[in-house]
Structure 1
């Protein structure tokens, strides 16, 4: 998947980059096990693990974008709820994928 170079969230440009899984884990000591992305709010960056399957990369990007939106909107408690963020990411992706006409209409 070709990731965008950046994404604009509430007038803040978040840089998007692919990094190794090892690099992701080095900067997130509080997380254990494998994970596929992270969002660095002070640096305004989203990092996605390189070499993932296309569908996994897409859902991970949406997941991290939701984290950034929640952070920028001040929803700190909800932002820490990984199950909620993941559920929203999957639901939002399916909404857009299954309803392209609705999305075009809402965005026009």
Structure 2
């Protein structure tokens, strides 16, 4: 995941550098300047989106590692309700007339028929 992010950022940074060079060469051509400026703004937004996505992926990986560690630390099988386990694993339970949706902190969702 990280390698892909680095490659995408490098490509956007390269395109930004090229557009900035074009901007310097545009001189007094206002329509060219406006077009290049719009492209630069678009590339900056794309770069920010990539960074945001990478941060979200990192956060998800950390949550999954935390949950894996917690489950590995459990030494015995669960035979009854455990408040600690529920609070640690489940983010939200949504109840509908025909089903329940259990959303785990890892982002996984499971529908359970009522």
What TM-score do the two structures reach when normalised by structure 2? Answer: 0.26
Higher relative contact order (CA 8 A, sep 6+): 1
Could you say which structure has the higher strand fraction?
A: 1
Could you say which structure has the higher helix fraction?
A: 2
Larger Rg: 2
What TM-score do the two structures reach when normalised by structure 1? Answer: 0.27
